[in-house]
Amino acid sequence: MIDERWASAAQALRSGADFWSLRVVDEQIDDHEVRNDVVQPLRTVHERGAMLTAWAGAGAGYAATADLSAAGLQRALDIATARAQASAAYSLIDHRQIARPSGSGRYASPNADAPLLARREWLERLSHECAAAKLDERIVERVASMHIAQADQLYLTSDGVRIEQRFRFLMPQLSVAAHANGDTQVRTLGGNYGTLAQGGLEILARYGFEGSGARVADEALQLLAAPNCPSGKRDLLLMPDQMMLQIHESIGHPLELDRILGDERNFAGWSFVKPEMFGSYQYGSELLNVTFDPTLREEAATYAWDDDGSEATKQYLIRDGVLERPLGGALSQQRAGLAGVANSRASNWNRPPIDRMANLNVEPGSQTLDAMIANIEHGILMSTNTSWSIDDHRNKFQFGCEYGRLIENGKLTQVVKRPNYRGISASFWRSLSAVGDAGTREVFGTPMCGKGEPAQIIRVGHASPACVFSNVDVFGGA
């Protein structure tokens, strides 16, 4: 819960800056795990601290501190103010021209305060699924885990804005490895780090955790007995747990405005997208509609305000295939002269906010899964990412999946292992030929998106229906 001593300490702060803000983050993470029926040590991380931001003249400065006393916060604010004053003559933009945060309020994850299970109960559930996955001797590794993160954030400004946000994240995971005759196949529940959501115990049912041990193990054994994925051009039906990564890598990162402006080029690369493309570039087929949506409450990156205090609302980034707006927060919008979204986000108290994708979703279309399959003459269904590679401009890529099934003459046929596909972002999305309806849509999330110098690992969400892409280059792994 928000400690009112933080707010009281902030009321005493004084600065020569034109504007300042305080962002306090108090976060605890607990990881429970059972591996091959052996309980693993509990991993607990608790962090608490504050970031002070100051604007003076054209300049800006930051300073972080773990000392949340009035004296500790004042020292950090003094440092941030001095840095802002020193940078004023050299700033690329005039921070006085950026709109200041104006709205106060509160946000909480669904069921943020509902009771969770005790550690003993978590371990009982994890142990049950881990044991159920031992179908036969070919199952050589079984891991069940539960990741729980709870965070309170308080944002205050010199203008009197007060924003409180309370988050709770759960991520149930299960992984099974099967081995025989020199071959190993791994099947997971929603991919590695893909089942993150906001809420409470209902998240277990959303991702089908109960009963997942035997189900996932059976699919691992199916893969062990399956032939390798064939190579050649086929229609590709991507399920939502693979669409998650496709969206993330070939839409999310290319549309981050600071990356487009060159900020990431020495670390995580640039983007094939240029500022002049917004408003006219045909990013995908007319079936492609992509939104920045911080309002879907169970999704991993839902929030009411970003970490610079901008109010978060749903916005179309791509509409009917045409690129409309970038993923750029207030600072990048001022730099580029483009409208953006409220996505200035920081990984924790000791990092300043930068442009990050948050909930980045493909909007549902009109086709059922059965209808999409029935319309495919020569294709393949792929689900659950296992490997990825994309170039420094987020354009040319190849992705590998855990599980594949051939589609012949409108019917799902045999399971295939090591399914992979490759493409180029600038043309791949234009091959989108069918978008599933709301009944095919699933919501996924990950805590593992990396970006920035110094590095920031942050939570993102992706909701998507199943989608069909025409004439894609697919191939089997070695």
Give the model confidence (pLDDT) of 265-316 as tens digits.
888 789 999 999 999 999 999 999 999 999 999 999 999 999 999 999 999 9
pLDDT over 90 (residue 2): no
User: What whole-number percentage of the chain has pLDDT above 90?
Assistant: 95
Contacts of 282 (CB under 8 A, 6+ apart): 321, 322, 323, 430
Nearest in space to 10 (alpha carbons), one of 156, 219, 228: 156
Q: From CA 453, how far away is CA 21, in angstroms rounded? A: 22
pLDDT of res. 52: 98
Q: DSSP assignment, residue 363?
A: P
Q: DSSP assignment, residue 99?
A: P
Q: CA separation (Å) from 328 to 16, 256, 339, 389, 449?
A: 29, 6, 8, 24, 17
Strand 467-476 relative to strand 232-238: parallel, antiparallel, unpaired? antiparallel
pLDDT of res. 408: 98
Q: From CA 236, how far away is CA 399, in angstroms rounded? A: 12
Give the model confidence (pLDDT) of 341-359 as tens digits.
999 999 999 999 999 999 9
Q: From CA 152, how far away is CA 43, in angstroms rounded? A: 20
pLDDT over 90 (residue 134): yes
Q: Which H or E run includes 315?
A: strand 315-319
The residues that bridge with 236 in the sheet, in sequence order, are 380, 469
Give the model confidence (pLDDT) of 375-390 as tens digits.
999 999 999 999 999 9
> Could you give the domains of the chain?
4-225 (3.30.2290.10), 232-476 (no CATH)
- Judge whether 294 and 360 are in contact, CB under 8 Å: no
pLDDT of res. 240: 98
What would the mean pLDDT of 357-364 be, rounded to a whole number? Answer: 98
- Label residues 384-397 b or e (16+ Cβ within 10 Å = b): bbbeeebeebbbbb
- In the predicted model, what is the mean pLDDT of the chain? 96
**Residue 267 CB: number of other CB atoms within 10 A?**
13
Nearest in space to 193 (alpha carbons), one of 462, 477, 469, 407: 462
- Which residue's structure tokens are 């700033």? 91
pLDDT tier for residue 393 given thresholds of 50, 70 and 90: very high
The residues that bridge with 27 in the sheet, in sequence order, are 47, 151
- Judge whether 217 and 176 are in contact, CB under 8 Å: yes
Q: CA separation (Å) from 176 to 140, 188, 211, 236, 366?
A: 8, 6, 13, 26, 35
pLDDT of res. 244: 97
Backbone phi, then psi, for 171, in 5-degree steps? -140, 95
The residues that bridge with 462 in the sheet, in sequence order, are 444
pLDDT tier for residue 478 given thresholds of 50, 70 and 90: low
Give the model confidence (pLDDT) of 177-215 as tens digits.
999 999 999 999 988 789 999 999 999 999 999 999 999
What would the mean pLDDT of 410-437 be, rounded to a whole number? Answer: 97
Q: From CA 281, how far away is CA 302, in angstroms rounded? A: 28
Give me 453's structure tokens: 């110098």
pLDDT over 80 (residue 1): no
What would the mean pLDDT of 64-85 be, rounded to a whole number? Answer: 97
Cis bond before residue 172 (omega within 30° of 0): no
Determine the 3-state secondary structure of 260 from DSSP.
helix
Give me 88's structure tokens: 């004023």
What would the mean pLDDT of 120-139 be, rounded to a whole number? Answer: 98
pLDDT of res. 264: 86
Q: From CA 147, how far away is CA 195, in angstroms rounded? A: 10
